[in-house]
Amino acid sequence: MTSALNPKYSFDSFVVGAANRLAVTAGRTVAENPGSAYNPLFIYSGSGLGKTHLLMAVGHAAKKGAPALNIEYLTLDEYVEAFHAAIAAGQGDAFRRRFQNVDVLLVDDVQFLTNRKEMQSELLRLTEALQVGGHQMVLTSDRPPPDIADLDERLISRLSGGLVVDIGAPDYETRVAILRRKAEERGAKFEPGVLETVADAESGNVRELMGALNRLVAFQAVNDRSINAATAKQLLGIGAEAAPGDGGKGAAREGAAPAPRSGDEFGDFLADVTVTVGKAVEAWRARVGEAVLRWEGEGYRTRRLEALLERDTPAAVDEVITAFTQDVERLKELEAEVAELDPQAAGQSVFRDPERLGEAEEVAAKVRDGAAPPPGPSAAFPLGAYAVGPSNEVAVSAARAVLKQPGKKYNPLVLVGKSGLGKTHLLNAIGLELARGKRAVVACLSTQAFVDELIAAIDGDRVDWWRARYRRATALLLDDIHLIAGKERTQEELFNLFNLLQDKERQLVFTAPAQPHTLPGLEERIASRLAGGLVAELKEPDREVKRAVLERMLGQHGASPDPALVDYLADRPADSVRGLVGELQRVVGAAAAQDGPLTAGLAREVLEGQAPRDSRRSAGFRTSGIVVSSLGGIKSREKMVWDWSDVADRVIEEFR
Amino acid sequence: MSLVNFTTREITCKIVYYGPGRSGKTTNLHYIYGRVPDSRRGRMVSLATQTDRTLFFDFLPIDLGQISGFSTRFQLYTVPGQVYYNATRRLVLQGADGVVFVGDSQARQLDENLESLQNLQSNLLEHGVDIRTIPLVLQYNKQDLPRELILSPADLDDALNFRSLPSFSADALHGKGVFETLKGISELVLKKLAAGTAA
């Protein structure tokens, strides 16, 4: 269906003269950068001036530059035929797809679109698809697009949108050059002046020129003798009377000018001027046109550039294009930023109009202000205040590794341990350290708050905003992840957020009371993701940790710690740091009530208690709400109340 | 005068041949006239004295046809070289897009060349044009005269061309260098289009 490119038709064999220089330059440019320079390139000229040659030369050169390119050459008639065959076979879509995947499409003789409405719309669709895909189109015709009869306006504007160049009739010098090259190709030799005579015939068409040359070659071959200029003239029917203008001019030339110069100085001059004007005038228009096409294609308004085309003088074209491009780039930045903060706001048209950059900046600023950062870590839990001992060594060293390479080493990090062992403290401490980083947005909150926020967002119909808020986070730290159990929507959102943040190598840290897989109500996909990083366990505080905590606490109370007191408290069994702190607070409270010093004796008295407490101790077992420590001391009042499991127990207590 | 008119898609270049009396300005135009096909040229208007000296100015319009979709026209003018026609020279210079300074290569004419060049500068200034910004080329005419009478192009460059402008040696009577000069000035003038500062 598609014609092969004729290897004879290359740029090398194309004789360049003033009349076709612009077209050849454009063709070469297109072949070097298919799809980016002039798209589509539309070449028109009268018959026999080299359209097809040039078209195929573009194909050859493009193939040479990038052998992987898919290049198709065909005439419009072939295209029409192929289309009809495809439609008849019910393969219309396949046909379209095939041509939309062509990198360089060369279509010859487009003028035959006249009176073919369905082909016009088909070509329009194809042109659009190719342009959008950045594929090159080169078309030829015997007249410019607006002159093709009955052509759809839209197609005219599409076809004229790239570069429209014409190939003029070759001038005398070019004609001689063409004849010499063709004679050489045919291995024919002529006497001096013969080819010049042929060229002088002023045939405006290379094909006719070839015809004339062929006749001479044939005559020479048949008669086996070389012909001279006069014979050639006779043979070709160029008499003095046949071309009076020529003869006259020649005579005048000889008579008036003993000039050492070549024949057509004016022609040379014209050629030069053509090239210069082409460079100067059309180049900037083409640049502007390209810019308009490009940005329009990306959906931006291009009023400023279009205004440029209406101007009389092309003042500072490049500056305007550069400034425009910068504005568009800025719009892109703003839109990307806004999209992350508030996806709904990003769709606004101000981000597509460089003339409204100011407004776009304002919108972005508003969105920036509106998007409150997600809740951050609490400053009450600095890492420096975290007591380290063998019981939590693993977790703390994991935390340090995370701080060293956030998002890269242990992601996620899950801190597991019973209540009161300092998970929340460590979590917030990690958050605080991460927040020190430049541009860090650390989301650190309890899972309950996370769930509540989502519910509020759903209620306020701003889930997008809520999502965007967390998607910005450079680290997400959730306390008590087991509280997500049964919250299906939150698990869904967390799952997505988790994947997104992990993909971007942003740190995730969670705390949980037990190993992820043992947590009830947690979806398998979440549990497995949690287990996929590092699960670090915090154990019951060891003596070292307890001592560190006690010393720090006592230091805070302003008291110089009594070593015996610290030893006593540290030696008492405590299953959590929080329990230990509770005991200490009770001792401190008692000391304050008595206005006495903090001593080990007082502590023993307070914590181990005397008779009244003993008598209650046995009763304690009856009320399930009271938890009695193994050594008889009640751990803490708050804890006791906290542990009441239901109303019935409380009623019994009240009653008692 | 607008060099490029995008609304009517026209390019018009006004080029003035300037120089001392008898340096060959009109000869340049005559040669060009003889080389341009009838269909491309307008009537050459020449107001000359009986001794063939340019009295007012010569005017040769050339139509270069459609170039890149622009109908392109060159208008070539000469000024009278004689010192006392300065008002005319100034008038002709008005709105010029480019100037060809036709110098006389004869050694004894060097002072006239310099004087004319200074005159060009002051006349341009009267129109508010800086000689350093307007497209300008130099032509050293009459290089066909015997060596002992003339200065070489290199010497003339030293004496006149202190801004390293394009310069062409010529024999306008026989056409040598005439079109080269015209090409040179055209290129400068048209390049100004690209710079976007049409005169």
- Residue whose entry in the numeric block shows the structure tokens 């046809």: B65
Please list, in sequence order, all residues whose beta carbon lies within 8 angstroms of the beta carbon of residue A256, skipping any fewer than 6 positions away.
Answer: B34
H or E element, residue A455: helix A447-459
**The pLDDT value given to residue A203:** 67
Q: What is the pLDDT of residues A52-88, one digit of tens each?
A: 889 999 999 988 888 888 898 888 888 888 888 888 8
Instruction: Give the chain B residue nearest A258 (alpha carbons).
Output: B174
pLDDT in tens, A325-360: 899 888 888 888 877 776 666 667 788 888 888 888
User: For chain A, which domains are there?
Assistant: 21-167 (3.40.50.300), 172-252 (1.10.8.60), 271-370 (no CATH), 383-537 (3.40.50.300), 543-655 (no CATH)
**Are the CB atoms for B143 and B105 separated by under 8 Å?**
yes
Residue of A nearest to B188 (CA): A276
Which residues, listed in sequence order, are joined to residue A73 by a DSSP beta bridge? A3, A106
Distance between CA B199 and CA B196 in Å, rounded? 9
A398-434 residues labelled b (16+ CB within 10 A) or e (exposed): bbeebbeebbeebbbbbbbbeebbbbbbbbbbbbbbb
Which pTM was predicted? 0.37
- Taking 60 as the threshold, does the pLDDT of residue A392 lie above it? yes
Q: Does the beta-carbon distance from A261 to B37 stay under 8 Å?
A: no
- In the predicted model, is pLDDT for residue A178 greater than 80? yes
Q: With beta carbons under 8 A apart, name residues in chain A contacting B3.
A: 313
Task: Check if A307 contacts B (Cβ < 8 Å).
Answer: no
Q: Which residues pair with A107 in a beta bridge?
A: A74, A139
Asked whether the beta carbons of A456 and A468 are under 8 A apart, the reply is no
Q: How many residues in chain A? A: 656
CB contact under 8 A, A273 and B4: no
- What span, in angstroms and rounded, lies between the C-alpha atoms of A538 and A576? 10
Q: How far apart are CA A15 and CA A104, in angstroms?
A: 23
A151-155, A158-162, A371-375, A489-493: which range is least confident on average?
A371-375
State which residues of chain B have pLDDT below 70: 1-9, 47-55, 68-69, 193-199
For B64-95, what is each residue's pLDDT tens digit? 877 766 788 899 999 888 877 888 889 889 88
Q: How far apart are CA A82 and CA B25, in angstroms?
A: 64
Contacts of A282 in chain B (CB under 8 A): 68-69
Closest Cα in chain B, distance from residue A231 (Å): 28
Cβ pair B179:A265 closer than 8 A = yes
| Residues A412, A529 contacting (CB under 8 angstroms) | yes
User: How many domains does one find in chain B?
Assistant: 1
Cα radius of gyration (chain B): 16
CB of A313 within 8 Å of a chain B CB? The answer is: yes
Distance (Å) from the alpha carbon of A277 to chain B's nearest alpha carbon = 6
Whether the CA torsion A108, A113, A116, A122 is positive or negative: it is positive
Cβ pairs bridging A and B (under 8 Å): 95
Look at strands B98-104 and B70-78 and give their pairing.
unpaired
We report the CATH number of the domain holding residue B27 as 3.40.50.300
**pLDDT over 90 for what percent of chain B?**
51
CA angle A126, A128, A132 (to 5 degrees): 120
CB contact (8 A) between residue B190 and residue A265: no
Set of chain A residues whose Cβ sits within 8 Å of the Cβ of B196: 284, 313-317
Q: Tell me, what's the pLDDT at A106?
A: 92
Could you tell me which residues are beta bridge partners of residue B139? Answer: B102, B168
Distances (CA, A) of B97 to A272, A541, B74: 18, 94, 10
Q: Residue A222: pLDDT above 70?
A: no
Identify the domain containing residue B181 by its residue range.
4-195
Top-ranked range on mean pLDDT: pick from A43-47, A110-114, A278-282, B119-123: B119-123
Between CA B187 and CA B177 the distance in angstroms is 15
Contact A479, A447 (CB under 8 A): yes
Residue in A with minimal Cα distance to B12 = A277
Locus of tokens 């990690």: A430
Element (H, E) at A73: strand A71-75
What one-character-per-residue DSSP string does chain B give?
--SEETTTTEEEEEEEEE-STTSSHHHHHHHHHHHS-GGGB-PPEEEE-TTS-EEEEEEEEEEEEEETTEEEEEEEEE---SGGGHHHHHHHHTT-SEEEEEEE-BGGGHHHHHHHHHHHHHHHHHTT--TTTS-EEEEEE-TTS-GGGB--HHHHHHHH-TT---EEE-BTTTTBTHHHHHHHHHHHHHHHHHHT---
Report CB contact under 8 Å: B179, A261.
yes
Query: How large is the ipTM?
Result: 0.84
Residue A373 CB coordination number (10 Å) = 12
Radius of gyration of chain A from its Cα atoms, rounded to whole angstroms: 44
Please compute, for residue A652, the number of CA atoms within 13 A of its CA located in the half-sphere on the CB side: 14
Q: What tens digit of pLDDT does each residue of A530-586 get?
A: 888 888 888 888 888 888 888 887 777 666 667 778 888 888 877 788 888 888 888
Which residue of A lies nearest to B40 if distances are taken between CA atoms?
A266
C-alpha span between B25 and B197 (Å, rounded): 28
d(CA A143, CA A158): 15
What the block records as the tokens of A581 is 């702190």
